[in-house]
Structure 1
Amino acid sequence: MVKEHLVSHLRACLSQLKTSFEHCLGNADNYAKRNKSKEDCVSKLPDEMLSSIISFLTLTDAVRMSLVSKRWRHIYASMSSLNFDLYTMFSAPDDCNSQQHCSHFCLHYRNTFVQRVNQFLQLHSAPRIMSFRFSFCFVREFAGDVDRWISFAVRMGVEKLDLNFACRDSIIVGSMFSDNYNEMYNLSCQLLSEASKLNHLCLSSCTLQLEFGCFNNLISLDLNQVPLSCNELQMILSRCLKLEWLGVRRCPVPGKLCICGPSLKFLEVFCCAGLKEIELSAVNLTTFEFSEILETKFSFSNVPKLEQVFFRGYYYDAIDSIFSELTRDLPELKILSLSMFTLYVRYPKWPTSFSKVKQLELSINNDFEPDLLKITPILSACPLLQKFHIMMRSYTRRSEESTKEPPKCVHTQLKEVEFGGFSGTRNQIEFAIFLLKNAISLDKMIIDVHYKLYFGCGKWKNGCISTWTEDKRDEIHKQLQGRVISATAKVIIR
């Protein structure tokens, strides 16, 4: 506890120092001239604290701060984590949050960005680099400079390398390069052949020139907007025998992806253009996250440890296909998350059972509120279900009558229900009552006007469509009162 308190106090002090330093940045030149013969108080701080202070500043500001303290020049030049992007190299305007303005800014400042990175690396004096990242809109015109940066990082024993050739993740390959991949930077993997310390590699908006002898020690690989030909991913995986984490996001791919790996534990495949089928064989895989606009065929040939699956679907039959086709291939599944982004969803009437699923998460993100009682067969398909979370973001409420209440279906294991995005419509009330009447071992039901939607890879979006008055809260409470069958259940309305 004492250690945690000291760390917290130190962070507060560093935050205050950061604020003070930022105020004096604009007057750094005058400060230096007035105090040439004086010893500044900053010089008395230990190197570790100065390094922590630098981590709060952009690289440009850190360079300017070297005029304030005699020891800053040494400290900022010995940083072991290097991050070059719009916000560390420039005072980027707020409108760079949009794709159009971000691309325009990068186009105008490319030469300046390259010049500043080159100057910084010439001054850098650390014995090694732990991480190297840049994020900027580059094309092949600057390939020579980028090659030198990568070679520098490799020589310095870099462990984490993040190369993003589009300044924002939201910029897709087609919009930036007009589907002409010849304009994109082409990474020759020969540059990484000597990267013996490299464990984590993230590539975005570039093409690959594969060579033998690279990627051997990778633990994580994140490919974002990287076009992949028929066998390229298989070639990469065949060399990454230690790979535990793999992300393939927005990558144009051939119709079929074959993914295998003896050490692979986490896999994400997100909206890859051209994808029609995935063949998956990974004996140690525990988590699989998948998002796609079009229907995709799955083949799970050897995934005995797969316990957690997240599906994000944009097509009508997504849930129906999951419960009719995947139950036999995923016998050990324990956590199933489904996120629907489509106007209408077909729910299975007689789904096959997921016999070991203990947690079911359902997110509904569309314009029209669905008939929630049609979901009940999905709950019945999970006989050992203990936690059920449903999140809704629907802007148009149902006006028609809901489905006739389904037959009683007792859930003996269900302990916890969380209902987010709850606005108190008749449809939602009827579904909540159904759960209260059939979950005989329920401990608590949480009803919340706020929603929390999962978008994959640890990313969440929180929001609230409507607000409640005290009268509305009391009305909901009255409609649910007396409907609880479990003697221990509590209904919590937030």
Structure 2
Amino acid sequence: MTNIDRCGREKNFGIDRMSSLPDDVRTHILSFLTTREAVQTCILSKRWIKTWASVPDLKFDIEEFGLVDINDDEMAIEFVNKFELLVKSVLEKRETTCVNRFRLWLVSQVYWPHTQAVAKYIGDVMKLEPRECSVKLGLRENLNLNTDLIFSCASLIYLQLCLYKRPSYSVAIEPNSMNLPCLKTLNLCGVTMSDDSFKKLLLGCPVLEDLRLEGCYIGIIEICSNSLKKLEIYSVNDGMKLQISTPNLLYLDISVMDMGEIMLLNMPSLVYASIFLLGWYDQDKYVIRGPKLIHDLSNVESLQLHFRCLEGQVKKKDFSSCPIFNNLKRLELVTWSFYVFDLVPYFLHHSPKLEELILENKHARGTLDEEPRDAFVQREFLKTVRIVGFGNDNRFFYKLINKLLAHVKIIGEIIF
């Protein structure tokens, strides 16, 4: 059926342009959908009946099936059964053995007692040699997960394994085989591993560039890698020992409540670093780790330091022997104690290229001590000062600005 519009152009009605697209184009379009959505397109027309079976991406998420907060255990079982049926039928009816991305997410707590029913299919997918794998599972009992198949899948370039368990919050895994020659990104969350297993894992990842550990329990973390460029460590076990030797590392982010020992041995290429160690700057532990840690970070261009200590615990002269930060352009100090701002002059004096200073307050109230007038020579110029978290306390704000102006002749822009 045709019609002519006001401009004399022919208009066509009733033409299914999507179905007329080439097979590879329609398959590519479905790759942006979850697997359940892709399967549902089989009702569109005859040409779409089997298109989903050729999509190289498998994306399964339990939350697609409806409510995430179900108090009725029988209903939860029903949802998991539907989810398992989808996974099983898709794997059986696929027309391609090629898998590009695999995602299996079953994280809502209401389904945790039934995780095992679905997790058994992970090994089957690993045999199809996916390039990317993201697995997020919650459970209330030991999971019979074949981690050997995961950690020996030589085709993987991206691996995310997040395991959540009540009440221990982590799942012990001890894979016997670890061979990931193509892996560039590794994200482990809620995993407990022995020191030896973790060492073997890193040895089995010769081209690893991006490593993230979150909520993991590993006694001694030794990271020695020439390929690693980005490292993130969050909320690992208390008392953990960390040793890093990564000559090509560009990005470092460490946020740990209590760390037994930290050694940054070889990071000459580091550009950005963010450090939050609860208590790393108290009077006892700073003597051991503070000066050495600051020296190890002296090459960075952007530095973020989190201080969480009580007022009076910071000694003003602690930074008097800090190194020269020859590359530092951006400094951010996040603190729960106003007293730490007394350290700002030391950074101003030791950072000749510093352009931006950010001061963020996490504490409600506080005081500022006066600096000795002859402590330092004033620096000429600072491009930007950003002040966050002071609310409507104008008196304190202006006192802080005056304190900064005692050490910087000209501040280009003050943002608050």
TM-score, length of structure 2 as denominator length: 0.78
Which residue in the other structure is 1:420 paired with?
388
How far apart are residue 218 of structure 1 and its match? 1.5
- Corresponding residue for 2:415? 447
Give 1:26's aligned residue: none
Question: How far apart are 1:345 and its partner, in Å?
Answer: 8.1
1:64-103 matched pairs, under 5 angstroms: 64-87=40-63, 89-93=64-68
- Residue 261 of structure 1, CA deviation: 1.5
Among 201, 205, 217, the alignment partner of 1:236 is: 201
**8 A Cα contact 1:316 1:344, kept in partner:** no
Q: 1:186 aligns with which of 135, 145, 153?
A: 145
Shift of 1:84: 1.1
Q: By how many angstroms is 1:224 displaced?
A: 0.7
TM-align CA RMSD: 3.5
Match for 1:280: what amino acid? I
SS in 2 for 1:203: strand
CA drift at 1:191 = 5.1
Counterpart of 1:374 in structure 2 is: 342
Over 3 Å counting, the alpha-carbon distance change for 1:389 and 1:82 in structure 2 is: farther
Structure 1 393/48 Cα, relative in aligned 2: closer, same or farther at 3 Å? farther
User: Does structure 2 retain, via aligned residues, the 8 Å contact 1:163–1:203?
Assistant: yes
Cα distance change on mapping 1:130 and 1:365 into 2, 3 Å: farther
The corresponding residue for 2:161 is: 203
Shift of 1:311: 0.7
Matched residue SS, 2:347: helix
Contact 1:129–1:159 (CA under 8 A) maintained in structure 2? yes
Following superposition, the deviation at residue 160 of structure 1 comes to 0.9
Helix, strand or coil at the partner of 1:64: helix
Change beyond 3 A, Cα 1:289–1:116: same
**Alpha-carbon distance, 1:66 to partner:** 2.2
In structure 1, list runs of 5 or more residues that go unmatched. Answer: 1-37, 167-175, 449-494
Report how far residue 320 of structure 1 moved. Answer: 5.0
Measured in 2, the distance between the counterparts of 1:251 and 1:63 equals: 36
**For 1:364, which of 334, 353, 358 is the aligned residue?**
334
Which residue of structure 2 lines up, in the alignment, with residue 288 of structure 1? Answer: 252
Q: Which residue number corresponds to residue 310 of structure 1?
A: 274
Determine whether 1:114 maps to 2:84.
yes
Structure 1: how far apart are the matches of 2:328 and 2:249?
A: 18
User: Once the two structures are superposed, what CA deviation does each residue of 1:169-190 show, in whole Å capped at 9, x if it has no partner?
Assistant: xxxxxxx64xxxx613433324
Aligned to 2:215: 250
Structure 2 vs 1, CA of residues 423 and 49 (structure 1 numbering), >3 Å: closer, same or farther? farther
- The residue that corresponds to 1:159 in the other structure is 131
1:200 positional shift: 1.2
User: Which deviates the most, 388-397 or 299-308?
Assistant: 388-397
Alignment map for 1:50-65 (pairs within 5 Å): 50-51=26-27, 54=30, 57-65=33-41
TM-score by length of 1: 0.67
Structure 2 gaps of 5+ residues are 1-13, 164-170
Q: Percent identity?
A: 21
Cα distance, 1:109–1:160 mapped onto 2, change above 3 Å: same
C-alpha separation in 1, matches of 2:74 and 2:130: 31
Shift of 1:347: 3.8
More helix, by proportion:
1
- 1:62 is matched by which residue type in structure 2? A
Aligned position for 1:124: 94
Residue of structure 2 equivalent to 1:403 = 369
For residue 225 of structure 1, the aligned residue among 187, 190, 212 is 190
Aligned partners of 1:46, 1:58: CA distance in 2, in Å?
Answer: 21
Alignment of 1:31-50 (within 5 A): 40-47=16-23, 50=26
1:291/1:311 contact within 8 Å kept: yes
State the 1:40 CA deviation: 4.0
Letter in 2 for 1:111: N
